[in-house]
Chain A
Amino acid sequence: MKITRRIFTSMVAGVVLAATGIIGSVSAADMPAPFDKPSEVKIALVRYLSTGDFFQAYLAGVESQAKILGVDLRILDSRQDAALQADMVDQAIALGVDGIIVQHGLTESMQEAVKRAIAAGIKVVAFDVDVENPDVPQIEQSDFMLAKMALDQAIIDNGTTFNAGYVYVPGIAPLDRRDVAWKEVKDANPGIKQLAEFGTLDNPIANSVANQARSVLAANPTITVMFAPYDEFAKGVKIAVDEAGMTSQVKIYSADVSTSDISAMREEGSAWAATAATNPAVVGEVSVRVLAMLLAGEDPGHNVVVPPTLITQTMLNDGDIKNMKELSAKIPAFAHADVAVPAWMPLPKR
């Protein structure tokens, strides 16, 4: 179902692309209203979560796309205060913005606030929070696809018969969505045996998971694949695999990526074989582009999915990629998503 949604989205994108393509080359003068006078367009980013690498990168994406569009961006950060976030939407309404990006938050608190914004004639898009409003496009990274992509690679590397260990903490929404993919893959391949399931969010997470993974490897020395669909988990599993001296025997597949993940994957003979990730900066850019399409009177579709990219150890080594910057530079699929890109849309420089 997710796949069909994705197809739908790309179809929409394609149609839009085709439709706008006729207009021809992009310059400020050619831009649809109101972007013919972009400095008069005001948009607001209302954030719920902001600390951490992911959110830093997301913000960077929002900023760069807003800059290339030339619009006036206001950032309102509620720092995990749900009530404050709702107030901030009202604050944005009072500021007279044209569009609002809601980044995370709680459905309960944001639903009404978003309704008030729409009633005030403001266009709204939401990232990773379901505001349950047909007028608000929902932007999301597909956790299901992240997991699926990594697992597909695992099957390519290891065949369909192997003993696996699985790291999972139920009750965490993105992990639950990734778990769906793991269950599907397991059901489809009876040769894949899950010998152990473990996981914890005790911080530092990598250290706690490493302790657990050590015990699991001692109890199940026949494990050859570890599926750790969160990079902190994968980091912990890698520490345990190295400490147990099983580096050459076990392969780790994960989701998400960061600079330190890249260096861990690129260590000599690293057990960390592949990861699938969505570039948070790209998600930020897409958020702004979807909002811009709305403002220009175009329809980006209700669900806008930013597709993930598979990153393997080989890709990193071949490109001599050392950090996120180089990853963006050398793997175009990671640096840019062909989502919400009408012809008039200026794109940030790579």
Chain B
Amino acid sequence: MKQASLSKDKIKAVAIRYGFLTLLAGLVLFFSLSAPGFATPFSAVFIFQSVAITGILALGVTATLVVDGFDLSIGSIATSSLMLSAYIMVVLEQNAVVAVIACLAMGAIVGLVNGVLIVYMRVPDLLATLGMMFLLIGLQRIPTEGRSIAQGMTLPGGETATGVFSKSFLALGRHKFDFFIENFIPFSVIIFVVIAVLIWLYFEFTRYGRVMYAIGSNERAAGLAGVPVHKYKIIAYMISGVLASVGGILLAARLGRGDIASGNNLLLDSVAAALIGFAVLGAAKPNAFGTAIGALFVGILLQGMTMMNAPYYTQDFVKGAVLVVALVFTFSLSNRR
């Protein structure tokens, strides 16, 4: 009887560790068999491309989750970055480098403000970033009086904008590199993978990442161990802000114009990816690898279901179901909080 319960525990441990990856493999197999065209290298690359933007945002969500925070403003940071890059190129007639730098700086500054509000003004994280979200949704509309930004648009003053989206900027979202197959890997996928690897290295192998996990687990104890808690919390929000602005840049490069949008769907999708990441390898905590897998999981599901002609509302339903299953994996099966 003891033997039985022992092996039961072992099975449970294996289930927690590999359950979600198995589910993912099963899903891939299912779609490969039932959706023609799913199991091709192009389809694989496309799944990466479709999740690149939410994936990058989700890595930012991971950073704030690690320090036991939360950033609701990432969606609006991304769309603000989308508008800002368009504004800089189309209206101010600057080049791609200026646009990218300005967006990254904007993300960093918004993250800094979020961090300062939370750490020094003691505003609870959800409220501070909620406020920032509304602020940015409004702010991105002010320069154009609520219009979307496109090449040749009519400005509020009546004159026509003469700036253009620079070719090199658009390449961030559209260029494809050769990799065995010509024009195979999109730039945005490379950016996503590079950022995912960097964030993974940061949180798993550097002392900065380690210290941030310590803050998330027991802030007081971390402070008494000499960790500058405030500084690291602010850094977490800055990572989140900068990554969200990178997402916005890629969005602008893909769309080729500045669209007015709240970015709430981006926020929800990326939070879902980060939370699904808890279940990967039984980590039961925010982690970069899990987040990337979580984003891919959602991408594979949506790709497969769209290929099978499932209507959009069933996709939302399935997304929700996956999230719930992942959270059950994390919190119930692994006996964690």
The residues of A with any CB-CB pair to B shorter than 8 Å are 50-53, 56, 169, 196-200, 202-208, 210-212, 214-216, 218-221, 235, 239, 242-245, 258-260, 262-264, 322-325
Interface residues of B in 96-133 (CB under 8 A from A): none
Alpha-carbon distance between A208 and B263 when the two chains are bound, in angstroms: 11
Alpha-carbon distance between A263 and B170 when the two chains are bound, in angstroms: 14
CB-based contact A218/B40 at 8 Å:
yes
Top 7 closest A-B pairs, CB basis? Answer: A260-B150, A219-B307, A215-B306, A323-B152, A202-B265, A203-B261, A211-B50
List the count of A-B residue pairs having beta carbons below 8 Å apart. 122
* Across-interface contacts of A198 in B (CB, < 8 A): 306, 309, 311-312
A171 closest partner in B (C-beta): B313
Is chain A's binding surface mostly helix, strand, loop or mixed?
helix
CB-based contact A221/B37 at 8 Å:
yes
CB-based contact B38/A218 at 8 Å:
yes
Is B151 part of the binding interface, using a Cβ–Cβ cutoff of 8 Å? yes
B165 closest partner in A (C-beta): A263
Alpha-carbon distance between A220 and B309 when the two chains are bound, in angstroms: 10
The residues of B with any CB-CB pair to A shorter than 8 Å are 35-38, 40, 42-43, 46, 49-50, 53, 79, 82, 141, 145-148, 150-154, 160, 174, 183, 186, 251, 254-257, 259-265, 302-304, 306-309, 311-312, 315
* Across-interface contacts of A259 in B (CB, < 8 A): 150-154
CB-based contact A323/B255 at 8 Å:
no
Q: How far is the CB of A246 from chain B (nearest CB, A)?
A: 11
Q: With A235-B255, A259-B151, A264-B256 in contact, do A52 and B146 touch (Cβ < 8 Å)?
A: yes
A325 closest partner in B (C-beta): B154
Known: A198-B306, A205-B261, A219-B36. 14 other contacts (CB 8 A): A51-B260, A52-B148, A56-B146, A197-B311, A199-B312, A203-B265, A208-B265, A218-B40, A218-B46, A220-B37, A242-B174, A259-B154, A260-B151, A263-B152
Alpha-carbon distance between A188 and B293 when the two chains are bound, in angstroms: 47
Alpha-carbon distance between A197 and B311 when the two chains are bound, in angstroms: 8
CB-based contact A52/B53 at 8 Å:
no
CB-based contact B152/A239 at 8 Å:
no
Q: With A53-B148, A243-B186, A324-B154 in contact, do A211 and B37 touch (Cβ < 8 Å)?
A: no
* Across-interface contacts of A216 in B (CB, < 8 A): 306-307
Q: How far is the CB of A121 from chain B (nearest CB, A)?
A: 35
Q: How far is the CB of B69 from chain A (nearest CB, A)?
A: 25
* Across-interface contacts of A258 in B (CB, < 8 A): 148, 150
Alpha-carbon distance between A262 and B183 when the two chains are bound, in angstroms: 27
Alpha-carbon distance between A212 and B148 when the two chains are bound, in angstroms: 23
Which of A56, A196, A200, A242 is close to B309, meaning CB atoms less than 8 Å apart?
A: A196
Q: List 28 A-B contacts (CB under 8 A).
A: A53-B148, A196-B309, A202-B265, A204-B82, A204-B255, A204-B263, A205-B259, A206-B255, A211-B50, A212-B306, A214-B46, A215-B307, A216-B306, A216-B307, A218-B303, A219-B35, A219-B306, A239-B254, A239-B255, A243-B46, A243-B49, A244-B46, A258-B150, A259-B154, A260-B257, A264-B256, A322-B152, A323-B160
